[in-house]
Chains A and B, each alone.
Chain A
């Protein structure tokens, strides 16, 4: 199954990510986001950041989750290679996501080819049943 696909959008980047579970779909959405800035397949998995985000619905959860990638780039110069051990649980009224971001610190051996300024809710869609799909527009 293809992980993600980019669609037409006048100003920004719009993608759909796919998966056989919601977790896998979120992982692929993270890889799609990373792919707009660097080639995630080429990032060595030398460092890791444990992340936990929550949202009162799945859209807020997805938004916060993808924002972690930009936050870690801006503050730690961290390039995501792959999000591992990703789990989504319901805790009370909140959806909580835990994951281990594996990747490396930015250095001259890596090439950054684009910028993602923010994750938006614009045209965001989440298909919660198989086949799972999320659609996201990011501000680039």
Chain B
């Protein structure tokens, strides 16, 4: 495969064969090595072959092999000629991250970290097979999917200010829950307000570095040592079911002939099935927003109980990592609406975009990039350049380099816990095996990922945080 170095952080696979556009990879010489070892680049080429793709098939610095689309893949499609693909969004629709600030310094909570973690473990259901604390009727579930985080706020979880500080204000208007299958609804009912398992987590963090004081202040991040809270989870079984349902419906309707990978199944955006998928996906996006809204509320409750107050625990922002959206972008000098797929990528809009909350409009949106378990996470700010470079997108995490199976062979959960404790990080998990699977050694170096984002201009560094307490699903 021909791959051309353009500069220190950009490589290109020129157009060849059935590709409609080239593939552009934002990476470093070091990260490229691991990307070349799996199917990432082949998958980026496959995406470039899809109908109506605009500009380039983009690959973010944390990319790794996915199914159909790579994880860390960004692609935009013409609204009339183009397609929408469940595989371009992923199974965990609106898997995303929410960040809360606090007025606490790490010194304030140091002695009570274990207590806080135990409280969160009790308040937030986590792990496989754990149902939520609420029994919902089918109708309420449909309302959740129509209204997203707004439903949660109306029902006493958090504040209206949280909504302003959520991508899409916590609700995708396009959602139409009537297109959800009975199975999707059935899976959604017991799991609302649950963290899930796998790479999902709740983290108590402290700020260790501030790179851009002016921007960080706008975000509510004021000082080194400040305690932040990060919530990473998604739409649970409901979202997975939406993806599986529409993959099957599209297969049956449009067939799989000519597709290099069955997971690339898609439908024209303007087709009935394409529109139904978009409306169902939006419903799943809303479910995930409501989910994180509820969890954030419980986390504040725990702080109120253990520390005496949850005042100042405002939301910094909530971002989607797996989503498709209709957005306006400049293409060949003209502004046009396109259907953007971000699969394992974060929107990274710069100053001025009307989609971002007014409070951030002078600086750009917060971009939240969680690291792997026990390592640093980063807060970045979106840039105007990113709109040109990647349709306003950047990385979403560290990105795996090792299979979970391999991680299990190499790491022991108990040892990882000890090692993290020696670095001052408390860890609580539902499963030792899960801890081993998520060992930081199985991931790319998140420091290198954000460095590429910063240098390439996809998203600029604002602050670095490290965990002091980790609750893993």
B237 close to A121 (CB less than 8 A): no
By beta carbon, the residue of chain B nearest A64 is B248
Chain B, residues 196-234, CB within 8 Å of chain A (1/0): the string is: 111000000000000000000000000000000000000
Please, how many angstroms separate the alpha-carbon atoms of A113 and B437 in the complex?
10
Chain A, residues 103-119, CB within 8 Å of chain B (1/0): the string is: 00010000111110111
B129 close to A73 (CB less than 8 A): yes
B404 close to A12 (CB less than 8 A): yes
CB within 8 Å for A113 and B433 given contacts A60-B248, A121-B263: yes
Query: How far in angstroms is the closest Cβ of chain B from A87?
Result: 22
Residues of B with C-beta under 8 A to A60: 248, 251
Let me know if A8 is at the binding interface, CB within 8 A. yes
Q: Which of B68, B92, B127, B404 contacts A117 (CB 8 A)?
A: B92
Residues of B with C-beta under 8 A to A7: 405
Q: Which of A11, A56, A112 contacts B71 (CB 8 A)?
A: A11
Please, how many angstroms separate the alpha-carbon atoms of A12 and B437 in the complex?
10
Please, how many angstroms separate the alpha-carbon atoms of A113 and B252 in the complex?
35
Please, how many angstroms separate the alpha-carbon atoms of A14 and B67 in the complex?
12
Let me know if A49 is at the binding interface, CB within 8 A. no
Let me know if A75 is at the binding interface, CB within 8 A. yes
By beta carbon, the residue of chain A nearest B127 is A112
6 contacts between A and B (CB under 8 A): A12-B67, A113-B433, A114-B431, A114-B437, A121-B262, A122-B68
Q: Which of A64, A77, A140 contacts B198 (CB 8 A)?
A: A140
Nearest 7 CB-CB pairs, A to B?
A: A122-B67, A121-B262, A115-B197, A113-B433, A74-B237, A118-B91, A112-B128
CB within 8 Å for A119 and B402 given contacts A74-B190, A75-B186, A112-B128: no
Q: Which residues of B contact A (CB under 8 A)?
A: 37-38, 64-68, 71, 91-92, 127-129, 131, 183, 186-187, 190-191, 196-198, 237, 240-241, 243-244, 247-248, 251-252, 261-263, 400-406, 430-434, 437, 473
By beta carbon, the residue of chain B nearest A105 is B129
Beyond A11-B71, A12-B403, A112-B129, list 6 extra A-B contacts (CB 8 Å). Answer: A11-B404, A63-B244, A71-B187, A74-B237, A115-B473, A122-B261
CB within 8 Å for A119 and B68 given contacts A74-B190, A74-B237, A106-B129: no
Interface size on A, residues (CB 8 A): 39
A120 close to B67 (CB less than 8 A): yes
A139 close to B187 (CB less than 8 A): no
Let me know if A69 is at the binding interface, CB within 8 A. no
Please, how many angstroms separate the alpha-carbon atoms of A97 and B262 in the complex?
22
A115 close to B196 (CB less than 8 A): yes
Q: Which residues of A contact B (CB under 8 A)?
A: 6-14, 37, 56, 59-60, 63-64, 67, 70-71, 73-75, 77, 79, 106, 111-115, 117-122, 124, 137, 139-140
By beta carbon, the residue of chain B nearest A116 is B128
Q: Which of A37, A71, A118, A137 contacts B183 (CB 8 A)?
A: A71
A117 close to B403 (CB less than 8 A): no
B128, B187, B191, B261 pick with most chain A CB within 10 angstroms: B128
Please, how many angstroms separate the alpha-carbon atoms of A14 and B38 in the complex?
14
B190 close to A75 (CB less than 8 A): yes
Residues of B with C-beta under 8 A to A71: 183, 187, 241
B263 close to A73 (CB less than 8 A): no
By beta carbon, the residue of chain B nearest A120 is B67
A139 close to B67 (CB less than 8 A): yes
Residues of B with C-beta under 8 A to A8: 403, 405-406
Query: How far in angstroms is the closest Cβ of chain B from A8?
Result: 5
Residues of B with C-beta under 8 A to A67: 244
Please, how many angstroms separate the alpha-carbon atoms of A9 and B67 in the complex?
11
Query: How far in angstroms is the closest Cβ of chain B from A120?
Result: 4
Query: How far in angstroms is the closest Cβ of chain A from B91?
Result: 4
By beta carbon, the residue of chain B nearest A59 is B262
